[in-house]
């Protein structure tokens, strides 16, 4: 679906990337731990997160993430906004919680960028 539809489904506000709403997205990954994002997220997908600092933008850039969706009404810091503008990465913010954000997108056809990880990835 187009990023424009994502915006509508999530009743989201576009903070950066008004000109990118025709971009196609098919997958998403959601986490607040950037190391897990780096381990599992795929290029061209959405990143759903509650973090707002510059490392979120850097991580999205490193992975060629299509757009960042900040959940729970979070907004990027001023530094993050400047960096996202520089690196040309769209940021949307939605008031839905992470679970609702994921669920609403999933029912409309966005799927996880992978369904399961192949092995336990720590924290054990």
Residues lying near other proteins in the complex (CB under 8 A): 32-39, 43, 49, 51, 53-56, 58-59, 61-64, 79, 87, 121-124
Beta bridge partners of 14: 92
Nearest distance, CB of residue 39 and other proteins, angstroms? 5
Nearest to 121 by CA among 46, 48, 31, 28: 31
Looking at the Cβ atoms of 11 and 62, the one nearer to other proteins is 62
Looking at the Cβ atoms of 18 and 119, the one nearer to other proteins is 119
Looking at the Cβ atoms of 9 and 65, the one nearer to other proteins is 65
Nearest distance, CB of residue 44 and other proteins, angstroms? 10
- Yes or no: say if 45 and 113 are a contact pair by the CB < 8 Å rule: yes
**E-only strand ranges, the chain:** 13-16, 27-30, 46-49, 67-70, 91-93, 111-112
């Amino acid at each position: 679906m187009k990023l424009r539809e994502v915006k509508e489904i999530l009743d989201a506000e576009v903070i950066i990337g008004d000109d990118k709403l025709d971009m196609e997205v098919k997958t998403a990954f959601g986490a607040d731990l950037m190391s897990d994002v780096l381990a599992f997220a795929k290029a061209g997908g959405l990143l759903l997160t509650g973090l707002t600092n510059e490392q979120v933008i850097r991580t999205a850039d490193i992975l060629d993430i299509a757009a960042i969706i900040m959940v729970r009404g979070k907004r990027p810091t001023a530094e993050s906004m400047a960096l996202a503008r520089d690196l040309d990465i769209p940021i949307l913010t939605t008031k839905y919680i992470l679970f609702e954000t994921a669920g609403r997108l999933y029912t409309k056809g966005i799927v996880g960028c992978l369904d399961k990880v192949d092995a336990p990835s720590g924290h054990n």
